[in-house]
Structures are given as structure tokens and as C-alpha cells.
Amino acid sequence: MDTSPAPSPADQENWRLTHLGRLLGHALRRFDERVLVLMARNVDVPLALSNLAARAQVGAAHIHITRHLAVGGSRLTELAHSAGMSKQAMGDLVDQCEAWGLVTREADPRDARARRVCFTPTGLDWLQAFRDAVAQAEAEFREEVGDNVATVVAIGLEAYAGGA
């Protein structure tokens, strides 16, 4: 017979605030927000895009294109799959990024019926700004939690993500 006291109502609800998935979600949002702030401040990012990022018009969803679009281009279906989004939602993001001059749709040399989403020269500048911002955000993370913890987190996340 269990004689331990029953958990309080607060303890029964606390797990929803502290479970790993929620913490990972908060950490990802914080990281992406920091990356966008750094990109907005990057002098190599075209001013119009920098202004969009600074005014929170560019969000984490737009980062999906930056993260997942192959430098040589990707089909929309490949891009959507890689980002874990529907083809329609990714199509809307591509439309927006195309209007901003980050990407273009081009004929697919392997299939005349298909189109590839490709970075424009401005998009490649944006990609480099993303790379620089990610490196700085990672360095800030290491500084905040320490090298040992950052290394363990990276190894653990890599192992966990590899199982997906």
C-alpha cells in the first residue's frame, strides 16, 4: 500500500509546463527570435529585408525556407517535406519570399513539368546572414550555459533527432 501523500493539484499540472517537448519548443522559439534579431542588424542584408525582420514581418516560418532550401534549389514538395509543412503552406511562404526577392521559381532541368525554388543573389546574401546569425546565437548559447552543457545538449539533440 502506497502511503506517500497525494500530489497537490499544482504538482499534477506542473508536468505540462516542464516536460521536454515544451522546453524544446521554448528554446527553439528563443533561438529563432535571436537569429532574426541578428539578421535584422546585419549590414549585408538588404535594407528592405532588414526592416521586415526588425518589424517582426519575417518569422520562424520564413526561417524554414532558409533552413531547408538547398543552395542548388529544391522542388516545392521536397522543401515542404524537409520543413515538415504542407505543400500549400510552403507555397504561401515561397510566394512571400519570391515577392521579397529571396527566391525565384525556375524550370527543373530534370523534369520540364516541374519547377524548382532557388535562391536569388539577394537570397544567398540572406542565407549568409542566417549562417552568421546562427553562429552568433550558438556562441551566445554556449556562453550562457557553458561549453560542457552546450556540448551535451548538442550531442543529445543530435542523437534524438537522428532517431526521427
Average model confidence (pLDDT) across the chain: 85
The SS3 call for residue 104 is strand
The SS3 call for residue 106 is strand
- In single-letter form, the type of residue at position 14 comes to N
pLDDT at 50 over 70: no
Q: Which residues of 137-156 are buried (b: 16+ CB within 10 A; e: fewer)?
A: beeebbeeeeeeebeeeeee
All three cell numbers of 138, joined, read 550558438
pLDDT at 34 over 70: yes
Closest CA to 105 of 69, 137, 138, 54: 69
